[in-house]
Amino acid sequence: MCGICCALFRGQKPGKLDFSCSRLKNRGPDASSQAAVDIDPQTHLVLTGHVLHMRGCLTPQPATDKAGNFLQWNGEIFGGLQVGPNENDTTLLLSKLSEKSDVEHILGTLSSVQGPWAFIYWQEKTKKLWFGRDFFGRRSLCWHLPQSSTDPFLLTSVRQNTEELVEVPSIGIYSVTLTQTDCLHITVYSWSEAVWPGTMDLVTSDNLHLGLVGGIDEQFAGYSRHRGKFEELGWQGLIDEVEMEVQRISARNLGRDDRIITDHGKEARFPFLDENVVSYLQTLPVHIKADLRYPRGLGEKILLRACAVKLGLIKSALFPKRAIQFGSRIAKTENNKEKASEKCSRLADPT
pTM to 2 decimal places: 0.72
Confidence band of 328 (pLDDT split at 50, 70, 90):
low
pLDDT of amino acid 209: 41
Indicate if the pLDDT at residue 250 is higher than 60.
yes
pLDDT of amino acid 260: 77
CA geometry: angle at 190 spanning 186 and 195, to 5°?
110
Distance CA 210, CA 268 (A): 5
Domains in the chain: ranges and CATH: 2-190 (3.60.20.10), 209-337 (3.40.50.620)
- pLDDT (tens digit, 9 = 90+) per residue, 264-305? 777 777 888 888 888 899 899 999 999 999 888 888 998 989
Residue 241 makes CB contacts below 8 A (sequence gap 6+) with: 221, 225, 226, 229
Residue 137 makes CB contacts below 8 A (sequence gap 6+) with: 167, 170, 249, 250, 251, 254, 255
| pLDDT, greater one: 229 or 323 | 229
DSSP code for 55: S
Distance CA 289, CA 280 (A): 11
- pLDDT (tens digit, 9 = 90+) per residue, 78-129? 888 888 888 888 999 999 999 999 999 999 999 999 999 999 999 999 999 9
